[in-house]
Amino acid sequence: KNQVEQSPQSLIILEGKNCTLQCNYTVSPFSNLRWYKQDTGRGPVSLTIMTFSENTKSNGRYTATLDADTKQSSLHITASQLSDSASYICVVSSDLAGNNRKLIWGLGTSLAVNP
């Protein structure tokens, strides 16, 4: 069964600290993996998209890694800011038969950055 599991479910850190969020997937066949940031009551905003051949991708203070062999990804946030408080969602795109594609969404990690 195609699944995307994220950990931890929630996380509280102090402003200025770093943190790493995890995403494990069992999706096959794999097309790409995305990380989204979703503020409460708002739509998700894309942070990174990674294909099979990409190991690391950065977007400012956000760095995503992908290990396609172990089917694991991580999102590292450096020098956290209060505005980083949000839900971070991992999404995997799968190329199905007949040129169909499907997105499998994780449940997200809720991050709270406290002053």
Partner 1 sequence: DGGITQSPKYLFRKEGQNVTLSCEQNLNHDAMYWYRQDPGQGLRLIYYSQIVNDFQKGDIAEGYSVSREKKESFPLTVTSAQKNPTAFYLCASSLTGISYEQYFGPGTRLTVT
Q: Determine contact, residues 19/76, Cβ cutoff 8 Å.
A: yes
Of 11, 13, 49, 68, the residue at the interface with partner 1 (CB under 8 A) is 49
Of 77, 106, 109, 113, the residue at the interface with partner 1 (CB under 8 A) is 106
**Region of 41-49, 52-60, 68-76, 77-85 interacting with partner 1 (CB under 8 A):** 41-49
Q: Which residue lies nearer to partner 1 by CB, 60 or 115? A: 60
Q: Which residue lies nearer to partner 1 by CB, 85 or 94? A: 94
Listed residue (95, 105, 109) closest to 52, CA to CA: 95
10-14/109-114 β-pairing? parallel
Of 31, 63, 72, 85, the residue at the interface with partner 1 (CB under 8 A) is 31
Say whether residue 45 binds partner 1 (CB under 8 A). yes
Q: How far is the CB of 42 from partner 1 (least distance, A)?
A: 6
Q: How far is the CB of 60 from partner 1 (least distance, A)?
A: 17
Q: Determine contact, residues 59/2, Cβ cutoff 8 Å.
A: no
Q: Determine contact, residues 92/61, Cβ cutoff 8 Å.
A: no
3-state SS string for 50-78: EECCCCEEEECCEEEEEECCCCEEEEEEC
